[in-house]
Amino acid sequence: MTDESSDLLAEVAQGNQEAFAELFGRYRKQLKRMIGLRLDRRLFGRIDEEDVLQEAFLTAFAKLPKYLEKQDLPPLLWLRLIVAEKLTDLHRHHLGTQMRDAAREVSLYGGPMPAASSAALAAQLMGSITSPSVAAVRAEAKLQIQEALNLMEPLDREILTLRNFELLSNSDAAQELNISPQAASNRYVRALRRLKQILDDARRVSG
């Protein structure tokens, strides 16, 4: 936790509601990226990311007194957990038995955490491939990326999502996955090597 976040949390504990809004705002961009990556593709256009954020903000504010008693999670991880619960509830409400099997437990604290889809990750990664290839070739490259991501170990894909796309620190990612910082770092290096191979293969297709 940064010194600035610690100062804001101290103000929140003293009853400063504006400080909580500011604290939430510090992580808003990361939380929105999380929603974009983990919201089921079938709900795009039906669920607004800003609405999810607003509901998460209200829920977090209601749960704030209990959180302040223990503070057993850094603020970002606590807020991510609340957002994850909102996303899981939305998936259950709108998809029911059609929920994909990717929803799984990855948090030490037992909260449901929908996994980022390979389609969402592939879309992010295609942005790094700037070749002016025709749409059909780019679509083929995207499909290749998705297939390669699906072959990665779930934990490796998750550490990539947390570090590269949600921009969590290594220590936060390790805590989120309930593994040691060293194990998280090793996983991340291995996953990066695999990711580089995936992107190199895709660039050959789209080039």
pLDDT confidence of residue 16: 87
Full-prediction pTM beyond 0.85? Answer: no
Lowest mean pLDDT among 40-44, 102-106, 119-123, 187-191: 102-106
Residue range 60-80, pLDDT digits in tens: 999 999 999 988 899 999 999
Spell out a b/e string for 77-90, using b for 16 or more CB atoms within 10 Å of the CB, else e: bbbbbbbbebbbeb
Residue range 78-112, pLDDT digits in tens: 999 999 999 988 888 888 765 554 444 333 333 45
- Within a 13 Å sphere around the CA of 79, how many CA atoms are in the beta-carbon half? 27
Q: Measure the CA–CA gap between 176 and 162, rounded to whole angstroms.
A: 9
**List of domains in the chain:** 1-115 (1.10.1740.10), 117-207 (1.10.10.10)
Q: Measure the CA–CA gap between 144 and 96, rounded to whole angstroms.
A: 29
